[in-house]
Amino acid sequence: MSAFKHRPFRKTGKDVDDLDPGARLRVIVLGGNEEVGRNCTLLEYGDDIVMIDCGLQFPDEDMPGVDYIIPNISYLKGKERNVRGVVITHAHYDHIGGIPHIIPRLGNPPLFASDLTCGIINKRQQDHQGTPPLKLHSVKSDDVIQLGVFSVEFFGVAHSVPSSLGVIVHTPCGIIVHTGDFKLDPQPGAQSIQETEKIKALGHKNVLALMIDSTNASQPGRQLQEIEIQHNIDDIIKNAKGRIIIGTFASMISRIQQIILACERNGRKIAVEGFSMKSNVAISQELGYMKIQKGTLIETKTAHDYPPDRVAIVCTGAQGEERAVLMRIANREHPFISIEPGDTVVFSSSVIPGNERTVQRVKDTLYREGAEVIHYKMMDVHAGGHAKQEDLAEMHDMVKPKYLIPIEGHYSFLCEHAKVAIAKGFPEERIFIADNGQMMEFDRTGDGVITNKKVPTEYVFVDGLGVGDVSHIVLRDRQELAGDGIVIIVAVIETQTGNLLALPDIISRGFIFMKEQQELIQNARRFAAKTLKDRDPNSAANPTYLKDKLKEDMGEFLYKKTERRPMILPVIVEV
């Protein structure tokens, strides 16, 4: 895998003096203002558009079969040529996951990101067969790129993946600052360099608006520093008597580096498990973001060749994902690793809301297998990558924007963020809490307004190879199938007369176990035959009428017999 080398990109912009003085800057958040995920923001002035981030959102429990959700770009239909570039803040999937699906539909505009982010984007693109190569441009934090009327600069921020960037966009109406995901950490370790002085310098530049991460806005205090986590990881690895198995996110490259350093200091070999984690480690090593001594990494299948107190396994699955490595280890489904008494299992991540039950299930299984389990509620083994309330207030003070735009979080998170700002003296009327798609506008004098105009932001579901072909109606059908199953009725009729040639066949899936319910099946077959015979004679050979009648009458019959409402699917075969 070839690493991305730095390739500065500059493009001559338009002379601001030639622009329409009455034009307004539009700021539109397509995703990320009502959920955690699918982060995507548009800046539009005249015929020029810049997109910041293009992420995915993982599905909720009521979205069976959906792989993930991406931003809705309907607003850009017919404006594809106006997209001068896409700027990516960092390599997490909630900021890059929509790229393979969306960028080709926009005519493949140039993408700008740090070298590590480019590397991970490129690898994900290769994994999507049939997608065209991207026009990726690696940038550093001191680069300046011109995208139409927009001049774009960057500043380094601390986050849980290295080389994360905040974005400074010079527009004809003023400066827009977009933090991306960040926390304040004076010693971020293997994370991105936090360019505090560059951030403070923004406070003297009359920033028009600050678009700022709100993921942890509901949590008081300050985010833990990475150096505190390093001490705790060192202690765990030093004191563990047997093997150590550590689950974390594949994208938490800084955490993986901390684990590797601690293992090297304590003489442990490390096996890395999980396709995405192996890929990210390889890219990070190649670009110099991860330092690993020769001989530290071993193949998982050789882990049993070493004493238990000299081995550690770093793997995916800390959220209880069904097919992730940690779950397969816990369930004895992994080909090389299973839990043994004396193992220590560490969950080095907080639980994403909604995953509590699956994580608890994994923990219970690990305890049953005799493992010692350590998670973030027992001791600090995870420092989040997002600023808490005191950090947010400090960022406000450093940047000193005229307008504050909380982004990246559920609507309640944005409101909590606003409360923090108001408590610190920020004028409430200059805080814009926008829905997804709600248009904010700024004029050339620097005055802004949150409008009632909205662009489409309905969910676009990715399901297998399909993008946008699964609707809420399809999801409702899937939910019904998951509830009471499906009953298929196959009836063969004579085309001209409409006469039934044999008793209809009944097929059940997820409704009843047919071998144990033969009497019900036979009664249902006879009822279906009677329904078809007792039809309106004027509709004898109308298949649509017959299907509707079967669906209605059989649904009522089965409910009376079972008090369940399976989906009824009639099939009429004409001969």
d(CA 179, CA 468) in angstroms, rounded, equals 30
Burial 72-96 (b: 16+ CB within 10 A, else e): bbebbeeeeebbbbbbbbbbbbbbb
- Res 251: pLDDT: 83
- Res 4: pLDDT: 53
Read off φ and ψ for residue 404, nearest 5 degrees: -115, 130
The model carries a pTM of 0.81
Closest CA to 409 of 51, 192, 94: 94
**Mean predicted confidence (pLDDT) in 437-459:** 95
Q: Give the chain's domains with CATH numbers.
A: 23-221+384-463 (3.60.15.10), 226-375 (3.40.50.10710), 472-574 (3.10.20.580)
Average model confidence (pLDDT) across the chain = 86
d(CA 245, CA 313) in angstroms, rounded, equals 5
Whether the predicted pLDDT of 208 surpasses 50: yes
Whether the predicted pLDDT of 291 surpasses 80: yes
Sequence-separated (6 or more) residues with CB below 8 Å from residue 374: 236, 344, 345, 346, 347, 381
Q: What does the pLDDT look like over 226-235, one tens digit per residue?
A: 777 778 888 8
* The pairing of beta strand 165-171 with beta strand 150-156: antiparallel
- Res 538: pLDDT: 60
Strands (E) located in 182-306 = 207-213, 244-247, 269-273
Whether the predicted pLDDT of 516 surpasses 50: yes
- Res 472: pLDDT: 61
**Mean predicted confidence (pLDDT) in 190-207:** 89
Strand partners, 505: 490
Please answer whether residues 422 and 431 qualify as being in contact, where contact means their C-beta atoms are separated by less than 8 angstroms.
yes
Closest CA to 286 of 432, 459, 118: 118
- Res 498: pLDDT: 66
The DSSP secondary-structure symbol of 447 reads: -
Is 213 one of the annotated active-site residues of the chain? yes
CA dihedral 119, 125, 126, 132 (to 10 degrees): -120
- Res 396: pLDDT: 98
**Mean predicted confidence (pLDDT) in 426-436:** 97
d(CA 40, CA 346) in angstroms, rounded, equals 33
Closest CA to 437 of 407, 403, 462, 472: 407
Identify the burial level of 538 via C-beta atoms within 10 angstroms of its C-beta, where 0-12 means exposed, 13-18 middle and 19 or more buried.
exposed
- Res 521: pLDDT: 86
Whether the predicted pLDDT of 475 surpasses 70: no
- Res 468: pLDDT: 58
> Which SS3 state, helix, strand or coil, does residue 529 take?
helix
Two tokens, residue 380: 């600090």
Whether the predicted pLDDT of 3 surpasses 60: no
Whether the predicted pLDDT of 12 surpasses 50: no
Greater confidence (340 vs 2) lies with 340
Q: If pLDDT is split at 50, 70 and 90, which confidence band does 8 have?
A: very low
The packing angle between helices 389-399 and 411-423, to 10°, is 60
Q: If pLDDT is split at 50, 70 and 90, which confidence band does 491 have?
A: confident
Closest CA to 147 of 119, 112, 115: 112
Whether the predicted pLDDT of 450 surpasses 80: yes
- Res 347: pLDDT: 85
- Give me the catalytic one of 386, 396, 410, 417: 386
Is 469 one of the annotated active-site residues of the chain? no
DSSP string, 311-331: EEEEES-TT--TTSHHHHHHT
Strands (E) located in 422-494 = 438-442, 448-454, 460-463, 466-467, 486-493
Handedness of CA 305, 309, 315, 319 (dihedral sign): positive
The DSSP secondary-structure symbol of 80 reads: G
Please answer whether residues 347 and 320 qualify as being in contact, where contact means their C-beta atoms are separated by less than 8 angstroms.
no
Alpha helices in 369-469 (DSSP H): 389-399, 411-423
Greater confidence (15 vs 132) lies with 132
- Res 482: pLDDT: 63
d(CA 257, CA 260) in angstroms, rounded, equals 5
Q: What does the pLDDT look like over 313-339, one tens digit per residue?
A: 999 888 777 778 988 998 899 999 999
Whether the predicted pLDDT of 465 surpasses 90: no
